[in-house]
Amino acid sequence: MALNATIYKATVQISDMDRQYYGDHAVTLARHPSETDERLMMRLLAFILHAHDNLSFGRGIGVDDEPALWQKDLTGAIDLWIEVGQPDEKLLRQACGRARQVVVYTYGGRGADLWWEKSQSSLERLSNLTVLNLPLDASQALAQLAQPGMHLPCTIQEGQMWIGEDSRSIHIEWTTLKSASAPFRP
């Protein structure tokens, strides 16, 4: 018998001074039974960092032709393809061929480091790919915020984020492992 996804609802208040983007979003995330709180919150983090009216979540784990998140233009062309974790190189090459810009958010400490060491030489050739790494302590702290109903104000400034709930705030900084030659601007 297949297990059902768990639904998480987040109200997110975004103040992104870097992009001059300010908005409130009611986000519904379906957590696959095999997905961790850490991955769920990484998907939410990616949504926050790229918030846009046309940004939406893919169908989820196990669907190879869709990313964790994506943004399409009015014609259906893919402007932005976002992956979370340690995606396969072949998948990223295909994504770079289909989308104007591809962004990968890695996390998980040593596992992410090993993935990058193994993949770096082949991924460096993809001019529309950006790879960002979130340190293990930050992704684990973010996972602790996961609950079925979340209210998360967040501020983004100078490449840093502060996200929190009523009782605590988490400071998040990421490392750019690879930058696209022409960064995506919505």
pLDDT at 184: 59
Q: Under CATH, what is the fold of the domain 9-178?
A: Restriction endonuclease-like alpha-beta roll fold (3.10.640)
- Cα-Cα end-to-end distance for the chain: 42
- Look up the pTM and report it: 0.92
User: What digits encode the pLDDT tens for the residues 22-77?
Assistant: 999 999 998 888 889 999 999 999 999 999 999 999 876 656 678 999 999 999 99
- Domain edges within the chain: 9-178
Mean of the per-residue pLDDT values of the chain: 91
